[in-house]
Structure formats: C-alpha cells, structure tokens
Amino acid sequence: MANEYKSGFVAIVGRPNVGKSTFMNSVIGQKIAIMSDKAQTTRNKIQGVLTEEDAQLIFIDTPGIHKPKHRLGDFMVKIAEDTLNEVDAVLFMINADEGYGRGDQYILDRLQQIKRPVFLIINKIDLIHPEEVFALIEQYKDKYNFAEIIPISALQGNNVNHMLDVLKKYIPEGPQYYPEDQITDHPERFIISELIREKALQLTREEVPHSIAVVMENIEKHESDAVYIQATIITERKTQKGIIIGKQGSMLKNIGKDARKDIESLLGSKVYLDLWVKVQKDWRNRQSQLRELGFRSDEY
C-alpha cells in the first residue's frame, strides 16, 4: 500500500535574528519573508507553503519571542506564543555563532507548556568549527526533551533537505491544503509592503530603528501590464523622516529602486513605485494607529 499523503503546520521560533526568514525563503525557494541584520524584522505570521509529492508543509515564521518593550512588542510576542498551540511541530532555531543565551531560556520556558514535537535547529553552522557544533548539541540536549536536534545552514542549504525528511516523519496524514503553485497565504500587497520595509531597514542601517511601517495606498494594473504602486513609509519622528528621504531625496530614491527590483520579480511585471514618507508620532503604542497599520485590536 502506498504511503498516505502528509500535511501539517510547522512553527519556526527563536530569538530575533537567528535566521528564521532566511530559512523560510530557502525552503520555499522564493522571497516571501524579509531579511535584515536588524533584530525583530518579522512582524506578522508569514505562512510559506512547501508542496512535494508526498507532503505539504506550511511554515509559520513567527516574530521572535522576546521580552516586549512597547505595545507592538506585546502584539508580536502574543502572536508567536499563540502559534505554538496551533501547529503540528515546532522548529526552535538558534544561531550557532552566538550559542546559548538568556533569550533562549525565555523561549525554552514557554515551550515547556506545549504538547507538540519540538526540533532544535542549529542554524548558521557554516560560521563555526564542526567541533563547536557537537559542544552546542551537548549543551542544549539537557535543557529540553527535543524530538530531534539538527544542525543546518539555511543560507548555504547545508542539511536542509535532511531536516525536511526528518520533519515529515512527525507530520500527520492529511489533505493538500493549498494548490501546489501557491507559496504563501499572504496577499501580494502585504508582501510588497514588507519588501519596501526591508529596503528601508537595510539602507538606513543603524540610523532608523524598527519604528517604521509601510502602508499600501494604491495598486493599479495599467493596460500595458505595468503595475503602478503608491505606498507611504511611516516613521515616529521628523529626524527619521529626514534620514529616509535623504539628501535631495537620494535615500528614498535608492529604497524605491531596490524595492522595485524585488517587486518586479514577485509580480513578473514592470513596476512604477511611488513612495512617500509620513510622521505618526509614537505609532507603536497607539491602538488606533496599530489598527490602521493592520494589527488587529484583539491581538494586542
């Protein structure tokens, strides 16, 4: 008798900046989660769908679990913790280069509450010596009863396929939830706004903190098949607005140029991107503004 089809939901948790979004994009084969070397880049659950002949895995890249510092932080942590009780398996990802930290213990304490198989995924093994990987495994295996411990490099693809094969053994039999050509459940406008936010974070580096958001104002498809997109970058202070605009508009122009390339790749069409910048003071602590920016009031 042929093996039954398997399908399941898999949460990816871990401290900020351990490589969750890089892993998601690597597995799915297309950019759906934004990547930045700034911590706390992912704000919403992003579902990436991997469909293979024998299984469909739906990955949920949660915001990094951390001790929140503002209302938006509360919202992000609540999303991550609620997700753990809704899935079939949990990937707890750590950064091999950083090793064990207090933030990891904070997450491990929360994982004790769930009744799902938890995998320890040691990411970025390309950055350390193999002997150090063994030392990390020894250190972590006493801290939690992990179903499996698997070292990988999401960036280079090392051991990722093996990890997927092991994961499938723990996933229940089930239907194919999504069509095989669908890679995410997020609407395109959400992904477009995230790509713009990614470029703003990457290009402004340390000058602009995570207090920026992107609002999609308008998307129109013209007869020529070109797509016209108007979006507004929200900042908390005038000084941040000035940095994002740059001298004679140079920074905003570069953000738009880099974002447009990724958006054109996503849509397969020529894109005209019109970016604006607006100040909304202290938006991360205001419920009305969080609602406007897509964060539902029952979640923060």
Of the pLDDT bands very low, low, confident and very high (cuts 50, 70, 90), residue 190 is confident
The string of pLDDT tens digits covering residues 291-300 is 554 544 443 3
Q: Which position has the higher pLDDT, 290 or 41? A: 290
What pLDDT score does 119 carry?
96
The single residue listed with the structure tokens 């723990």 is: 170
The single residue listed with the structure tokens 């498809």 is: 221
DSSP single-letter state for residue 33: S
8 Å CB contact between 60 and 36: no
Residue 41 sits at φ, ψ, to 5 deg, of -80, -40
pLDDT at 122 over 80: yes
pLDDT at 286 over 80: no
Of the pLDDT bands very low, low, confident and very high (cuts 50, 70, 90), residue 274 is very high
The string of pLDDT tens digits covering residues 231-254 is 888 888 888 888 899 999 999 999
**Distance between CA atoms of 140 and 153, rounded to whole angstroms?**
18
What beta strand segments (E) does the chain contain?
A: 6-14, 46-51, 55-61, 89-95, 118-123, 148-151, 213-221, 227-235, 271-279
Over range 273-289, report the average pLDDT: 72
The string of pLDDT tens digits covering residues 59-108 is 887 655 555 555 656 666 666 666 677 789 999 999 998 888 877 888 88
**Distance between CA atoms of 66 and 119, rounded to whole angstroms?**
19
What pLDDT score does 113 carry?
79
What pLDDT score does 49 carry?
83
Of the pLDDT bands very low, low, confident and very high (cuts 50, 70, 90), residue 167 is very high
